[in-house]
Every structure is written in structure tokens, then in C-alpha cells.
Structure 1
Amino acid sequence: MEQNKVIISVDEAKPSILRIAAFTANGIRVPAQRYDLTEYQGETFRLYMEENGDLSTCKHCDHYWLLAEADIPPKQTETIQTGEKDEKGQEKTTTVEVPLDLGGVTFRTYDLPTKEKNND
């Protein structure tokens, strides 16, 4: 029995990674894959399937089928102390990027394409 939606999850060890479980659509077996969504911060991420079963995230191409999408939050930064002091004895700080965590992101998944039955 073929599932009707792609199954996605967030990698526990590296929460910027979206994991796509292997699935079958249109009789094509698509292997499990992983995508680091760090570069999509502040944008909408979309995952597509092509007719041959390849997966694509290309924003500028026409695609066969939309599998999943989500609005990825913008980059977050935080100020941390460097452990050094300036010439006035004040703690020096620096701004660092907070690693993306997809844990709170809602992903919308769509039904997989199904083979059309020919009535010939």
C-alpha cells in the first residue's frame, strides 16, 4: 500500500536538517533524503518531485509536483560575552548567529501523485 503523503521530520542531532523518508509515488521508489534549510531562513521552502522521481528545491524551475512547504523563520542572532575586556575594563561582546531550529516550524505536506488508471 502506497502512502499518500511524504513523511518529513526534523533531525534531532542537527535541527536545521529536514529529513524526508523514502516513499513511492507513481510507481517510483524515492530514497530517503536530507536538506539543510539554513539557507532558506526568512524564505518559503518548497520541496518538489519531478516526474522521474527526483526531488528538487529549485525556486526558478517548473516542477511536476509540490510535496511540502514551510515558511522558515529569519536568521536570529544573539549577543554573547567574549571573555575579554576593553580598555575601560568593560566586558567585550560579539554577535553570533543562532543555529536554525526547525522544531517549531509547521510544514504543510501534500498528497503524492498517483498513477492514473488507463481505461483502454
Structure 2
Amino acid sequence: MGMKRLNVDQMEEDLRGDVLMEASRHGNKILVTDELPDGEMVDQWEPVVSNESLKTMLEVYQELQAEGYLVEYARVPVTEPKDTDFDALIRKISQADINTEIIFSCQI
């Protein structure tokens, strides 16, 4: 059985907790890997400014909505592709106005 949206949302919440714990151990910084334009991978320390600076995808959309932006959050995790996953995507897209901009995020 594939992932459910609530599972993915919870995983993001858990990740935020892990990042905050890691930052507290290293002077409010976390070690990340970045890719340079030439393809070289480099490690660098990134500051974690505050708990509020780390947001899940859902929280970003909720903030945008609170600020008056007409955005909608729809998440269809596709871990083990099934026809029903694609049916859900097609249904959501087909309900949108022709001028609606749609953003897809693929996390591999």
C-alpha cells in the first residue's frame, strides 16, 4: 500500500523536529550538501534562525491563504503508482480554471 497524505504531512513534522534537534546541538546550524553549478557537491553549515523559520509545505500554503492568496494545497503521494493516484490528480486538475497555475513537486 502506498503513502497517504497524512503520513507524508506527519513525516514533514517529524523532519522539522529532527532538524531543530540537530541545530540545537550545533549552534543553531545544520549541515547540508549543496551542488555547485559545475556539479561538485559541497557541505556547508546553514543557520536555523528560529522554530518559525522551518515550515512544512502545508504551513506555507496555510500562511499564503491567511495573507489572502488564492492557493489550494492538494497532495497526492505517489509511492506505488496506482490508477487511483492518477485519477485523483486528473480530477483535481480538471476542476481548475483554464488560467489556473498548477505547481507539481516531485520529491525523489
Per the TM superposition, whether the score is higher than 0.5 is no
TM class, shorter-chain normalised? under 0.3
TM-score (norm 2): 0.22
TM-score (norm 1): 0.20
Instruction: Flag the structure with higher strand content.
Output: 1
Instruction: Flag the structure with higher helix content.
Output: 2
